[in-house]
Structure formats: structure tokens, C-alpha cells
Chain A
Amino acid sequence: MRALLVAFDPSESAAIAGFGKALGVPCDLLLLSGEPDSGYGAESAKAARLTELPPADALAAGLAEACSGYSHIAAVTSMRAKDVLARLAGLIGAAMVTDAVSAESPTVFKRPIVAGSLVATVEALASPLVLTVRPAGFEPASPAEAAFEAISLHCEGKARRIESSEGGGSRPELTQAKVVVSGGRPLKDAETFERLIGGLADALGGAVGATRAAVDSGIAPNELQVGQTGKIVAPDLYIAAGISGSTQHMAGIKDSKLIVAINTDPNAPIFEHADYGLVMDLYQAIPEMLEALKR
């Protein structure tokens, strides 16, 4: 058995290498884009140096060639990983496990189902096995020197990207942030959302998240949605302000180490899942927090 750990960019290398360690089989690292920094203990490391990640049909075709001979092909879970790796699994006739949170053995994994209300233990009956992996379940690997071998991927496909939004800003990436501050529908409008939720996130050096209701009502952009169908976050501290705590939202935050809920409704379901609950209007609580954090 041998695993190919795929990092779409260098920010995923430590996490996917950490999964490789837990898997307990020899691993090679394949970095698709960006400049190689560390091999994180993989036996060998390859860098494809793609300047732009192509659409899934082309990228999966390139990966299918590169992963020949491997028993496991794994990447950190994300929308792009699900897009590309599930297609890859189809191309190579692989079994697939999405959102693995633990490796019980090289063929048995745990993963959340039904919006995280239950955990399934899944056995792969076929090889190769393709996985997407939630970093929260695994200790990230430590940096280690590695000589990266340059490889070229043959990415050919018929889909063309004609437009894409830039990610970003100065805040940390939502799925990797140590602190996440999220807001819901009570934030009224985009300006208020940014001032209060964004302001508190900046004071804590964190990322901003939002509920589906906040995104649907135009208060927050779609890439900030946290939950079953949005981003899965796993920060050390998650602050939910004005969020009732639907099953779908909770599915995205369960891996957080500490959950703080601020809500005017003492019966909001979010309090059942929070470590600390503050029954208070967020319009009072957040300015008070910002003031206290300045001191």
C-alpha cells in the first residue's frame, strides 16, 4: 500500500501529511500549485507548479495519470477537492470516502453523515481508495526538508473557466482560521454585518462566517456560509452571534474546540451545543466585547 497525498496549494500540505501519518502507510506528497516549502515527512515530494488550477475534467484527467499505482489518494476536504477527487474516483474506478475524520485502519474510516448528527464507520471494499479528509480529525505534520521532484500533469478538458471571483482580503482562510466569528440574520444588512462581525473577527485575528439565512438575504457573501452545505470550520474558538443553531449550521462547526453563543433567545438550540452561552442582544454584546478587547 502507498498513499498519494494531494495538496492543491502549500497551505494544505501539513494537514494532508498529518492524515498520511494517521493512515500508517508510506506516503508521497503531490503539491499541485504554489512554491514547494516543506515535504512534511512524506517519503517523496512532487510539485506540479500549476499556475492556475484547471476545471475538474482536466485536473482529474491529469491526476488519474499521476496516481497510477497508489492504493490511496487523499486531499483536504473542500469544494474543489470534492469536485475533482470524486471525478478522479469515477475515472479510475476507485472507492471513495468523503470527509473522513479518523482512520481506524488503512481501510476503515469514520465520517459524519446526516448533517453531522451521526457518525458512520465506513470500510472500503475496493482499491484504490480516494478520500477527502477533514483536518480537524488529524494532527498536522511537522515541517521537514524535502527535495521536490518537478512533474508535469497532462490536464486536458473541454470546460473553460470564463470568469472567477478573487478570494480573500486580509483575513485568515475560514476553514483554517484559529478564531471564527459568525453572524446570522439579525445583523440586518451587509454594512452592520461587516462592522460588528467583521470588527470582532479582526479584533481577535480571526475569520468571518455566516449562516445560510444571512447569505440568502444578501448580508454576507456566499463563500462565508458555514454549515452542511457550506464551509466546515474547526477553529479553537467559534463565536456565533445571532445564530439560532439549525442542524445544518451546527454540522459545519461541530469540530470547533470552544463554541460561544450570543443570542437574545435563551431557548435557541445553539445553546445546547455551546460551551459558553451569553443571553444578550448582539448589538450590545459585540460593542462591549470590542471595547473590552481594546483594553
Chain B
Amino acid sequence: MKILVPVKRVVDPFAKVKALPDGSGLDTSGSKFDVNPFDEIALEEAVRIKEREPETEILAASIGGPECEEQLRKALAMGADTAILIETAEPFDPPGVAGELAALVEEWKPDVVLMGKQATDDDCNQAGQMLAALLGWQQATFASKVEIAGGTARVTRETDEGTETLEMPLPCVITADLRLNEPRYIALPGIIKARSKPLERRPPKTGPSPKTKVLRVEAPPPRPPEKKVGSVSELLVELRGRGALP
């Protein structure tokens, strides 16, 4: 089985991020970057499948500048067999990412695309579903359990009400949610071994034709300052005063 895992380079999801003073984007000066946490979960799932079925091949792919090599090396260290960097300086929005990934799927012909449900920088939650639509494949988003056997994927997914389980023939796109697994810690030998694994670079096959454009990024309006209350009765008096209690 062949599994494609797209990997996005994102600004450290646990650091505070500010907007640039001119509002043109995120101020990432001095920021660390990492693999989008949901893509890391997707990759971990692919690696676990490979551990059960050693015939499995995993390709990690990233779209972006040369700096994305860092994230692809991490993917290789986690257990991807090969990596491809689709190198571009142009911004790709989710429809663009889906289009470019669809071209890669045509070329590499995976049975499954496993990717994060959303990126923690733009929080769009679009690319996986758009890719599935472009390919005419089935999809299982927000996955919390994945079983693949005999050309069928059985995916338990988180829903607004709880969970549901879908069954679908391969090929399909599966997007990972938080509780699918806990990604492994990468030990030093894995990092060293990853340096010699193949990493191909090539330009995009599709032209950038963004369907959306970010005009401005800014801090949200501040909330009024907090008021400390000393007791439960004082809190309830305040809340009644604001008409907030039934």
C-alpha cells in the first residue's frame, strides 16, 4: 500500500504570534517552525500502518520554500520512506494546495492520503476535503481511529454529536484529528538516518491561482480588563447586576 502524507511547515503552534505592524501578515521573526501538529499525527498513523504492514510505502510532501526541508527531514526521521519538496515562493491557498496535491497523486498513485484536518496557522480545514473532491475519492475527516484492510478503510471520526464510523473503498483521503494517536518522540538515530533518505525537489505542476487573498492581519479587539471578586456571593451579585444569571 502507498500512503501520501502532506506536511505543512507552520509557525510554532505553542508560541504567541503577533501581526506585522503593517498588517501584511504574521510576524515570524525569531519564531520557531514545526510540522503542523495534525500532519504529524497523520504521519504517525501512516508509520504505525507501515509497522504492521512492512510493504507500505510512505511519501511525505510539502509545498513551499527551501526551508520546508527541515519539516520533511523530520517526517523522514519519523518513518516516511521518501520526501518531495514542491518548491515555490508563491503562496498556495487551500484550493491551490489541493490542486497541486491532486497532480502529485496522479503521478505517485497512492492508495490513501493521510493528512491533518487543519493547519494551526490559518485554521482553514479545507485542503483534505477539496483534494478528495478533485480526485473523486471518498473522504473521512476528523479521524480518531483508522483501520485499513482488504481495500477498505474503516474510520471512526469525531462529529458534533460524538463519533461515527464510516466504511469506504480505497482510495480515500483521511484527515487526522487530535485523538487519532500520540506522535512518537524521534530518537537521534532516526534523525541521522533521515539525512540519507531521498528528498526530491521540483517546481509545482499547477500555476498559483489563489481564490482568496489575505488583505490584513491584526490583533483582535482587546477584552475589557478583568475584575477580581473575593467570594462566590460577590461574583453572583456582579453577574446578577449584568443580567447574566437566569
Taking a contact as CB atoms closer than 8 A, the residue among B138, B216, B229 that contacts A57 in the complex is B138
A108 and B217 form a contact (CB under 8 A):
no
Q: How far is the CA of A247 from the CA of B120 in the complex (A)?
A: 11
The answer, among B95, B216, B233, B245, for a CB contact under 8 Å with A96, is: B95
Q: By the criterion CB–CB under 8 Å, are B138 and A90 in contact?
A: no
Q: Which one of B105-113, B188-196, B205-213 is at the A interface?
A: B205-213
Pair B129/A228 contact, Cβ less than 8 Å: no
Q: Closest Cβ of chain A: how far from B72's Cβ, in Å?
A: 23
Does B186 touch A at the CB level, under 8 Å? no
Cβ contact within 8 Å between A277 and B218? no
Taking a contact as CB atoms under 8 Å apart, the answer to whether B246 and A205 are in contact is yes
**A26 within 8 Å of B (CB atoms):** no
Identify B179's interface contact among A119, A222, A254, CB under 8 A.
A222
Assembled-state Cα–Cα distance A121/B231 (Å): 41
A211 contacts B by Cβ under 8 Å: no
- Interface-located stretch among A31-39, A43-51, A65-73, A285-293: A285-293
User: How far is it, in angstroms, between the C-alpha of A170 and the C-alpha of B230 when the chains are bound?
Assistant: 33
A-B contact pairs, 12 of them (CB 8 A): A79-B142, A90-B131, A96-B94, A115-B123, A123-B215, A124-B211, A126-B211, A215-B179, A222-B179, A247-B14, A247-B16, A275-B226
Contacts A223-B159, A280-B232 given; indicate if A114 touches B212 (C-beta within 8 A).
no
Against B, the Cβ 8 Å flags (1 = close, 0 = not) of A76-109 are 0011101100111111011111110000000010
**Structural contact, B220 and A254, CB atoms closer than 8 A:** yes
B140 → A minimal CB distance (Å): 7
B163-A164 in contact (CB<8A)? yes
- Is B133 part of the binding interface, using a Cβ–Cβ cutoff of 8 Å? yes
Segment at the B interface, from A143-151, A155-163, A184-192: A155-163
Q: Chain B residues near A114: list those with CB within 8 A.
A: 11, 17, 26, 120-123
Q: Verify if A273 is at the interface (C-beta below 8 Å from B).
A: yes
Would A292 and B233 count as touching, CB distance under 8 A? Answer: yes
State whether the Cβ of B158 lies closer than 8 Å to any Cβ in chain A: yes
Complex Cα distance A201/B215, Å?
41
Q: Is the CB of A87 within 8 A of B229?
A: no
Q: Which residues of B contact A117 (CB under 8 A)?
A: 16-17, 219-220
Q: Does A1 contact B (CB under 8 A)?
A: no
Which A residues are in CB contact (< 8 Å) with B216? 120-121
CB pair B168 A159 closer than 8 Å:
yes
B130 interface residue per 8 A CB criterion: yes
A22 at the interface (CB under 8 A from B): no
Q: Contact between A123 and B242 (Cβ–Cβ < 8 Å)?
A: no
- With A87-B132, A90-B130, A258-B244 known as contacts, the answer to whether A123 contacts B213 (CB < 8 A) is yes
Is B161 part of the contact surface with A, judged by Cβ < 8 Å? yes
Contact assessment for B244 and A160 in the assembled complex, using a CB-CB cutoff below 8 Å: no
Given contacts A212-B178, A229-B178, A276-B226, contact A113 B217 (CB under 8 A): yes
Of chain B, the residue at the smallest CB distance from A178 is B246
Q: Which of B160, B220, B239 contacts A167 (CB 8 A)?
A: B160
* Top-8 shortest CB links A-B: A90-B133, A167-B161, A165-B162, A90-B130, A95-B211, A86-B129, A164-B164, A126-B211
State A83–B217 Cα separation when bound (angstroms).
Answer: 26
- Cα–Cα, bound, A260→B237 (Å): 13
Bound-state CA distance A83–B174 (Å) is: 11
CB of A9 to closest CB in B, whole Å:
11
Please tell me if the beta carbons of B125 and A86 are within 8 angstroms of each other in the complex. Answer: yes
- Does A62 interact with chain B (Cβ within 8 Å)? no
Cβ contact within 8 Å between B123 and A98? yes
Q: A240-295: which residues lie under 8 A (CB-CB) from chain B?
A: 247, 254, 257-261, 271-280, 285, 288-289, 292-293
Given known A-B contacts A57-B132, A124-B212, A228-B120, A278 and B162 have beta carbons under 8 A apart = no
- What CA separation (Å) do A122 and B124 show in the bound complex? 12
Instruction: Please pick, from B134, B144, B154, B213, the residue contacting A122 in the complex, using a CB distance under 8 A.
Output: B213
CB distance from A84 to the nearest CB of B (A): 8
Q: Are B126 and A96 in contact (CB under 8 A)?
A: yes
Q: Please name all residues of chain B whose beta carbon is closer than 8 Å to the beta carbon of A167 when the two chains form the complex.
A: 160-162
Query: Which residues of chain A are near B228, meaning CB under 8 Å?
Result: 271, 276-279
Q: Are B123 and A158 in contact (CB under 8 A)?
A: no
User: A83-B141, A118-B220, A123-B213 in contact; A285/B232 too (CB < 8 A)?
Assistant: yes
